[in-house]
Amino acid sequence: MSLLSSTSQQAKHQQLGLGDEKLVAMYSHMLTARMFDERLMLMQRAGKINFHVSGIGQEVAQVAAAYALDRDNDYFLPYYRDYGFVLSVGMTLRELFLSAFAKAEDPNSGGRQMPGHFGSKRLRIVTGSSPVTTQVPHAVGFALAAKMKKKNFVSFATFGEGSSNQGDFHEGSNFAAVHKLPVILMCENNQYAISVPVHKQVAGKISDRALGYGMHGERVDGNDALEVYRVVKEARDRAINGEGPTLIEAMMYRLSPHSTSDNDLAYRTKEEVDHHRALDGLPRFRMYIEELGLWNEELERELREEIKKQLDEASNYADKAPFPTPESVLDHVYADTRKEEKH
Amino acid sequence: MSVITEITLPQLAESQVSATIDRWLKKPGDWVDVYEPICEVNTDKVNAEIPSTVAGTLTKILIGTGEDVPVGTAICIIESEGSGQEDVAPQETEEANHAGTLATVAATTGSDVSMRQRYSPAVQTLAAQHGISLEQVQGTGLGGRITRKDVLAYVASGAREVRQLEKAVEQTSQQVRTTGIHLSESPKIPNIEIDDSYAAGRGETYIDVTPIRNTIARNMRQSVSEIPHAWTMIEVDVTNLVMLRNKYKEEFKKREGVNLTYLAFLIKSVVNAIRDFPIMNSVWAVDKIIVKRDINISLAVGTEDSVMTPVIKNADLKNVAGIAKEIEELALKTREGKLTLSDMQGGTFTVNNTGSFGSILSYPIINYPQAAILTFESIVKKPVVIDDMIAVRSMANICLSLDHRILDGVICGRFLQRVKENLEAFNLESSIY
Amino acid sequence: MPTMSYIDAIRTAMMEEMDRDENVFVLGEDVGVKGGVFTTTKGLYEQFGEERALDTPLSESAIVGAAIGAAMYGMRPIAEMQYSDFMFPATNQIISEAAKIRYRSNNDWNCPVVIRAPIGGGVFGGLYHSQCPESVFFGTPGLKIVAPYRPYDAKGLLKAAIRDEDPVLYFENKKSYRLVSGEVPDEDYIVEIGKANVLREGDDITVIGYSLPLRFIEQAAEELAEEGISTHILDLRTIQPLDKEAILEAVRRTGKVLIVHEDNKTGGVGAEVAAIIAEELLFELDAPIMRLCGPDVPAMPINPPGEKFFLLNTEKVKAAMKQLAEF
* pLDDT > 50? residue C225: yes
Per-residue pLDDT at B188 exceeds 70: no
Q: Is the pLDDT of residue A343 over 50?
A: no
In this predicted structure, the answer to whether residue A9 has a pLDDT above a threshold of 80 is no
Sign of CA dihedral A307, A308, A310, A311: positive
Residue-level pLDDT at A338: 59
Task: Pick the range with the lowest mean pLDDT from A133-147, A297-311, B110-124, B128-142.
Answer: B110-124
Residue B76 has pLDDT above 60, yes or no: yes
Give per-residue pLDDT as tens, B189-230.
566 555 555 555 567 887 878 877 888 888 899 899 999 999
Q: Which of B106, B128, B158 is the last residue of a domain?
A: B106
Please report, rounded to a whole number, the percentage of residues in chain B having pLDDT higher than 90.
39
Cβ–Cβ < 8 Å for B243, B249:
no
Hey, is C118 helix, strand or coil?
strand
Say if residue B230 is in the same domain as residue B93.
no
Is C326 in Cβ contact with B121 (below 8 Å)? no
Q: Which residues contact A299 (CB under 8 A, 6 or more apart)?
A: none
Pairing of the two strands C76-80 and C114-119: parallel
d(CA B140, CA B130): 19
Whole-angstrom distance, CA of residue C174 vs CA of residue C122: 9
Q: Which of C286, C289, C324 to mutate to test the interface with B (most CBs of B within 10 A)?
A: C286
Q: Give me the CATH number covering residue B47.
A: 2.40.50.100
Instruction: State whether B232 and B94 are in the same domain.
Output: no
Question: B267 in a domain, yes or no?
Answer: yes
Q: Is the CB of residue A221 less than 8 Å from the CB of residue A251?
A: yes
CB-CB neighbors (< 8 A) of C283 in chain B: 121-122, 124-125
Strands A246-251 and A216-221: parallel
Residue B383: give its domain's CATH number: 3.30.559.10
Which residues of chain B have a Cβ shorter than 8 Å from any chain C Cβ?
A: 120-125, 141-142, 145, 147-149
C116-162 residue pLDDT tens: 999 999 988 889 999 999 999 999 999 999 999 999 999 999 999 99
B133-to-B79, B119, B137, B235 alpha-carbon distances in Å: 18, 12, 7, 61
Query: Which helix or strand (DSSP H or E) is residue A21 part of?
Result: helix A20-45
Q: Do C284 and B123 touch (CB under 8 A)?
A: no
Question: Is residue B430 in a domain?
Answer: no
Chain C residues with CB under 8 Å of A142 CB are: 69-70, 72-73
Q: Are residues B250 and B386 in the same domain?
A: yes
Considering only CA atoms, which of A160, A44, A63, A42 is closest in space to residue A102? A44
For residue B393, the surrounding DSSP H or E stretch is strand B389-403
- pLDDT for residue B193: 56
Is C190 within 8 Å of C160 (Cβ atoms)?
A: yes
Band of residue B47 on the pLDDT scale cut at 50, 70, 90:
low
- What range defines the domain where residue B419 resides? 213-424
Q: Does C141 touch chain B (CB under 8 A)?
A: no
Q: Could you tell me if residue B126 is inside a domain?
A: no
Query: Residue B15 — very low, low, confident or very high, per pLDDT cuts 50/70/90?
Result: very low
Within a domain: residue B147?
no
Q: Which of C166, C182, C175, C144 has the alpha carbon at shortest distance from C3?
A: C182
Q: Do the Cβ atoms of C36 and C65 come closer than 8 Å?
A: no
C65 close contact with A: CB closer than 8 A = yes
Chains that touch B (3 or more CB pairs under 8 A): C
- E-strand ranges in A67-213 read 75-77, 155-160, 183-189, 192-193, 196-197
Within-domain flag for B412: yes
CB C140 within 8 A of CB C167: no
> Which residues 305-334 of chain A have a CB within 8 Å of chain C?
331-334
Put simply, the answer to whether A167 touches C110 (Cβ < 8 Å) is: no
Taking contacts as CB-CB distances below 8 angstroms, the residues of chain B near C256 are: 148
The total number of structural domains that make up chain B? 2
Choose, from C11, C129, C232, C256, the residue flagged as catalytic.
Answer: C129
Q: What pLDDT does residue B176 have? A: 39
pLDDT for res B169: 39
Nearest chain B Cα distance for residue C286, angstroms: 5
pLDDT at residue A10, rounded to an integer: 57
pLDDT of res. B67: 83
Neighboring chain A residues of C166 at a CB cutoff of 8 Å: 334-335
What does the pLDDT look like over C14-72, one tens digit per residue? 999 999 999 999 999 999 999 999 999 999 999 999 999 999 999 999 999 999 999 99
**Same domain, yes or no, for B96 and B240?**
no
Residue B388 lies in a domain: yes
Regarding whether B220 and B353 lie in a shared domain, the answer is yes
**Of B12 and B415, the one with more pLDDT:** B415
Within this chain, do residues B94 and B230 fall inside the same structural domain, yes or no? no
Which of the listed residues B106, B132, B154 is the one where a domain comes to its end? B106
B322: CB partners within 8 A, 6+ apart:
none
pLDDT band with cut points at 50, 70 and 90 for residue B50: confident
Are the C-beta atoms of C224 and C321 separated by less than 8 Å? yes
Instruction: Say whether both B292 and B415 belong to one domain.
Output: yes
* Cβ distance of B148 and C326 shorter than 8 Å: no
Q: Yes or no: say if C35 and C44 are a contact pair by the CB < 8 Å rule.
A: yes
The C-alpha of C55 sits at a distance from chain A's nearest C-alpha, in angstroms, of 10
Decide: residue C59, CB within 10 A, 0-12 exposed, 13-18 middle, 19+ buried: buried
pLDDT (average), residues C4-21: 98
Across the interface, whether the CB atoms of A148 and C25 are under 8 A apart is answered: yes
Q: How far apart are CA A254 and CA A192, in angstroms?
A: 7
Query: Does residue B433 lie in a domain region?
Result: no
Q: Is the separation of the CB atoms in A321 and A314 below 8 Å?
A: no
Task: Summarize pLDDT for B267-300 with one digit per residue, the tens.
Answer: 999 999 999 999 999 988 878 889 999 999 999 8
A positions 83-142 inside 8 Å of C (CB): 106-113, 117, 119-121, 126-127, 129-131, 134, 136-142
What pLDDT digit, counting tens, does each position of C273-304 carry?
Answer: 999 999 999 999 999 999 999 999 999 999 98
Do B229 and B90 lie in one domain? The reply is no
- Nearest residue in chain A measured CA to CA from C167: A334
The verdict on whether omega for the bond into residue C305 sits within 30 degrees of 0, i.e. cis, is no
pLDDT digits (tens, 9 = 90+) for B222-235: 899 999 999 999 99
- Flag whether B431 is in a domain: no
